[in-house]
Structure 1
Amino acid sequence: MVFQWLKRYMPRGLYGRAALILVFPVVMLQLIVSLVFIQRHFEGVTEIMSRAVVQEITFLLDEMAAAPDSAAARAEAGRIADALDFDLVFDAAPDAVVAARPFYDLSGRVMLDIFSAAIPGLGPTDLSNFREVHILLDTPEGPAVLSFGRSRVSASNPHQLIVIMVVMGALMTLIAYLFLRNQLRPIKRMADAAADYGKGRVVPYTPSGAVEVRAAGMAFLEMRARIERQTQARTMMLSGISHDLRTPLTRLRLGLSMMDEEEAEPMVRDVADMERLVDAFLDYGREDAADAPEPTDPVAFLRQVAGDSARAGRAVELGRIDGIDDTAQVMLRPMALRRALENLIGNGLRYGGKVRLSLTASDRTLRFRVEDNGPGIPADQRDEAMRPFTRLDPARNQNRGTGVGLGLAIVADIARLHGGTLRLGESADMGGLCADIVVAR
């Protein structure tokens, strides 16, 4: 429970945690040194010095008591006070000295304890001034104020040690942080390169830093190159197969055009279905070779998609646009994102009769929402629906269209290409499928 409570207040960033690792030991070391050295050493020094002053004050009082008369006592006390560098004033008022000690004056507390135990007739002691000590003494000649320098009873430079500790601790922490930042910078560069690659951007990256960081950077570059090779191989394979299939399909369509129209109609439909399959394979194969990211106005982009669909006679309307204005620019792949939205629009119109587009923006994400009034997809089948070559005809009314199960898979891949994800749900007011393309800003 304690660790869970502390975890909520720990910094989440790498630099913040590094600073905590540096500052916490330095602060703890200074506290330990302060407690052990300042409290014990300086209080010990104060005790020795205070006992020496107590002996001098006791000697002065004893000499006054041994004097034959009042005049001799005062004269002897003045002579001894001058010799011991004391300032002694007789006939003082009872309230001439007010007891005072700052709460942080630890050495003053030790001095008061020693004085109270060893000096008879000790009255109030004023320690408010760190340069002088004022004591009210009850002498045989009446109340007297005894004053002397504070440096005689306690070490005069404990604050210098504290200042040196704080300044040197801050300086060493700063130096260590600068060195550590140089070690953390390669890690952050690698994290940024990995984040950019997750959003579909291949940025130049050269491993640097410590040996372990360089090894991790080289592993990342090898992984990125391997993924690129596999993606290119898949794209080339699908493109090659699709291209090779188009030639015999064209010959079949040409041959069917020479046959009787009524007899050739079923085979023409088969050829058309095969061409749609080839087009779907091509779309799925080229999603990794999409257009490059460019600054795009998402509001104008969505309005253009909705307007193009409306001009094509589709029942597509533009819904709410929240959290973003018409002047905002976001790095998007407009061609790929348009293909994803059109796939969702096509599915919505195939299985329903109406589609609505909307856009919601936050500080870190954009959410393109496509809703329809069709039958939707059951919650337990939504993850499966986004897998390639998956068809959920019973849930989406197979009598209204056919496909190869690549539509949602293409949309999900395009969302991942933008560093985002595809989320499927149920439309609150339209009753059909609600598809959210969430991309990073």
Structure 2
Amino acid sequence: MTKTREDGVFGGLFADLVPRGLYARAALILFLPVIVITLVVSVMFLQRHFEGVTRQMTESTVRELALIAERVEDSATPEDARSAGGSVAGALGLTLHLPAPPRQGDLRRMYDFSGRVVIEMLRAGVPELRAIDLATDDKRVLVVLNGRHGPYALEFDRRRVSASNPHQLLVLMVFTSLLMTGIATIFLRNQLRPIRRLAHAAEEYGKGRIVPYRPSGAVEVRSAGTAFLDMRNRLERQNEQRKLMMSGISHDLRTPLTRLRLSLSMISPEMPPDAEDIAAMEADIAEMSRMVDGFLDYARDEAQDSRATLTPVASFLDSVLADAERAGQPVRLTHFEGDTSGAAVFRADMLRRALENLIGNAARYGKVVELDATLGPRSLRIGVEDDGPGIPEDSMDAAMRPFTRLDPARRRNRQQGAGLGLAIAADVARAHGGHLRLGRGGRLGGLRAELVIPR
């Protein structure tokens, strides 16, 4: 058996005795203190009952026996002794037998633990004792003493020297412990069930199977379950996008490669290519280069290695607009709502790439591109709008999927890219805890893309 770091805490033989399962360990942590406390309370109660209380009660009875014995010894005749001792015994609730019934030695039942203390105290307090009988009738005590007129006996209720019904408290304590243990077991199972469900979902996902799972239970378990779902969804999305990327590469590059192959097959020393053929091949190479760059940008965004920093929003947007103007893209900032000197926490390089894709798409399909921003107390919203044909309502969700190309209205030229611009922007928004919204522009009438991230 391989020992873990946790085993080293317990060490040695004790580590092998500790349960391995979470349920068993939680039950041990919960029930072991209850059992220990119950045992300690029981021992303390029994100690106090069988010794402390019994000794106090027996001491009182010893004084009563001594008083009766004194009256018997002071009597001149057996009749006087029977009369004097009986009157005192009757007043104290005892019964005098003169002469005494035959008794030899002390009698006590084996399970009568308090009887041992009673016999010890009576022997120490009444020297004239001849025999003590606690076994003939477990509810009565018979004490035989030696007197000047012969042996005589005193009989009294056992409750005078020991408390009655001590088992009731023990039975009540045991019953209460069992009841609380049952309630704790039900509660413990309900608390551990969400953890087991989470472990089962994680184990099944490790085997390549996705089982339904919904976070439940305590706050910490819900947090772990939500984190697991986010991780599983992110991995599934990455796997799906990886598959789409591979299929997109194989599909999109096949067409320009086929055209290049045909163009090259028609070239011979006798028929050199003219300028039009060379321009067409250069266009095919440029198209493949753009596709490969798009694939690399998408893969680089998937890594998401950069750290989020506090960045001034206005200066960041100015730098993005300056880069777009140098690239010849007709974009302008229409308005900035909020504190112009305010800042937000985001990954500047990733957000820049997302905006460059949105602006590039808008410039590709429209003639006018407008950018606006709103810096609120909790979020940053950046909108990019064009005057192009837009995207139909029923195709907006599909437009944000990688390697997706829409109808010919959005593909008016050959430089259609790899279908990754909106997908990259959506992934950047999700990486920042935000989202990308698509809709119809209210000013220009084309596509409006809004990037919203928490501040």
Q: TM-score, normalised by structure 2?
A: 0.50
Matched, 1:34 2:34: no
- CA deviation digits over 1:27-64, x for unaligned, max 9? 11122222334423663222221111111111111100
Give the Å deviation of 1:76.
2.3
Distance 1:45 1:186, change over 3 A: same
User: Which residue of structure 1 lines up, in the alignment, with residue 134 of structure 2?
Assistant: 127
What secondary structure, in the 3-state scheme, does the structure 2 residue paired with 1:165 have? Answer: helix
Give the alignment partner of residue 177 of structure 2, picking from 161, 169, 175.
Answer: 169
Equivalent residues of 2:57, 2:162 under 8 A apart: yes
Structure 2 matches for 1:227-242, cutoff 5 A? 227-241=235-249
Equivalent residues of 2:49, 2:163 under 8 A apart: no
- CA deviation digits over 1:362-414, x for unaligned, max 9? xxxxxxxxxxxxxxxxxxxxxxxxxxxxxxxxxxxxxxxxxxxxxxxxxxxxx
Matched, 1:6 2:21: no
Residues matched between the structures, number: 254
What secondary structure, in the 3-state scheme, does the structure 2 residue paired with 1:201 have? Answer: coil
Structure 1, 65-74 or 124-133: larger mean CA deviation: 124-133
Give the AA of the match of 2:146: D
Matched, 1:115 2:104: no
Structure 2 matches for 1:277-288, cutoff 5 A? none
Instruction: Give the distance between the partners of 1:122 and 1:3, measured in 2 at CA.
Output: 59
Give the Å deviation of 1:93.
5.7
Give the alignment partner of residue 149 of structure 2, picking from 141, 152, 171.
Answer: 141
Give the AA of the match of 2:96: L
Equivalent residues of 1:91, 1:144 under 8 A apart: yes
- CA deviation digits over 1:73-118, x for unaligned, max 9? 123233333332223333446545642243561x333322221111
Matched, 1:18 2:26: yes
Instruction: Give the distance between the partners of 2:97 and 2:190, measured in 1 at CA.
Output: 66
Unpaired segments ≥5 residues, structure 1: 255-441
User: Which residue of structure 1 lines up, in the alignment, with residue 51 of structure 2?
Assistant: 43
Instruction: Give the distance between the partners of 2:134 and 2:15, measured in 1 at CA.
Output: 45
User: Which residue of structure 2 lines up, in the alignment, with residue 336 of structure 1?
Assistant: none
Equivalent residues of 1:74, 1:141 under 8 A apart: no
Equivalent residues of 1:97, 1:134 under 8 A apart: no
Give the AA of the match of 2:97: V
Equivalent residues of 1:97, 1:136 under 8 A apart: no
Instruction: Give the distance between the partners of 1:145 and 1:200, measured in 2 at CA.
Output: 89
Distance 1:84 1:3, change over 3 A: farther
Distance 1:22 1:123, change over 3 A: farther
Give the Å deviation of 1:250.
10
Instruction: Give the distance between the partners of 2:130 and 2:174, measured in 1 at CA.
Output: 38
Instruction: Give the distance between the partners of 1:157 and 1:115, measured in 2 at CA.
Output: 22
Distance 1:104 1:196, change over 3 A: farther
Give the alignment partner of residue 79 of structure 2, picking from 58, 71, 85.
Answer: 71
Instruction: Give the distance between the partners of 1:247 and 1:104, measured in 2 at CA.
Output: 101
Give the AA of the match of 1:181: R
- CA deviation digits over 1:258-294, x for unaligned, max 9? xxxxxxxxxxxxxxxxxxxxxxxxxxxxxxxxxxxxx
Structure 2 matches for 1:10-409, cutoff 5 A? 10-40=18-48, 43-92=51-100, 94-95=102-103, 98-103=106-111, 105=113, 107-128=114-135, 130-241=138-249
Equivalent residues of 1:124, 1:135 under 8 A apart: yes
Distance 1:136 1:199, change over 3 A: farther
Instruction: Give the distance between the partners of 1:82 and 1:180, measured in 2 at CA.
Output: 60
Instruction: Give the distance between the partners of 2:60 and 2:132, measured in 1 at CA.
Output: 17
- CA deviation digits over 1:336-360, x for unaligned, max 9? xxxxxxxxxxxxxxxxxxxxxxxxx
Equivalent residues of 1:102, 1:127 under 8 A apart: no
Q: TM-score, normalised by structure 1?
A: 0.51
Give the Å deviation of 1:242.
5.2
Give the AA of the match of 1:203: V
Distance 1:238 1:135, change over 3 A: farther
Give the AA of the match of 2:82: R
Distance 1:27 1:127, change over 3 A: farther
What secondary structure, in the 3-state scheme, does the structure 2 residue paired with 1:123 have? Answer: strand
Higher-Rg structure is 2
Equivalent residues of 2:139, 2:157 under 8 A apart: yes
Unpaired segments ≥5 residues, structure 2: 1-7, 263-455
Instruction: Give the distance between the partners of 1:171 and 1:100, measured in 2 at CA.
Output: 36
